[in-house]
């Protein structure tokens, strides 16, 4: 993690406490958010492969699992990612807000 520049952290906080805490508390959420920005949409398996996270951790970061990953802080619930039902699997992509937050996250962390 880079030094947390107060001005940049303030930009992240401007999106609200829920999004701020979602990013601060989970490297998996940050890494998946950045992967969606850099590599585009994907299903849970795609994102797991691209980020190196186990499927259950990827799914937890995206939608929560009621255990390790709080659904209130998930990428979909916070409005940072869309869950679009595909033909066989749900395809996740960034929302416009997700794109903006990903740009800020890139300035703070080396994920």
Q: Specify the CATH number for the domain of residue 15.
A: 1.10.10.10
How many domains is the chain partitioned into structurally? 1
Q: Each residue of 4-31: pLDDT tens digit?
A: 567 777 888 999 999 999 998 899 999 9
The whole-angstrom separation of Cα 84 and Cα 102 is: 19
Length reported for the chain: 111
pLDDT at 107: 84
Please check the confidence at residue 63 and state whether its pLDDT lies above 90.
yes
Return the DSSP state at 102: H
pLDDT at 2: 47
Q: What are 103's two structure tokens? A: 């740009």
Q: Each residue of 29-44: pLDDT tens digit?
A: 999 999 999 999 999 9
pLDDT at 5: 65
Q: What is the mean pLDDT of residues 42-63?
A: 96
pLDDT-derived band at 67, boundaries 50, 70, 90: confident
Range of the domain at 17: 6-108
**Residue with token string 């979602």:** 22
Q: Please report whether residue 10 resides in a domain.
A: yes
Q: Please report whether residue 1 resides in a domain.
A: no
Please check the confidence at residue 101 and state whether its pLDDT lies above 50.
yes
Return the DSSP state at 42: B
**CB distance 13 to 20 below 8 Å:** yes
The whole-angstrom separation of Cα 57 and Cα 64 is: 9
């Amino acid at each position: 993690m880079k030094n947390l520049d107060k001005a940049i952290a303030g930009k992240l906080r401007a999106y609200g406490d829920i999004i701020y805490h979602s990013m601060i508390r989970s490297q998996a959420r940050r890494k998946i958010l950045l992967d969606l920005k850099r590599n585009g949409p994907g299903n849970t398996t795609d994102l797991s492969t691209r980020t190196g996270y186990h499927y259950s951790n990827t799914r937890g970061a995206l939608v929560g699992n009621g255990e390790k990953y709080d659904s209130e802080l998930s990428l979909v619930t916070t409005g940072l990612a869309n869950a679009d039902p595909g033909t066989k699997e749900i395809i996740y992509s960034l929302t416009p807000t997700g794109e903006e937050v990903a740009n800020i996250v890139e300035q703070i962390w080396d994920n």
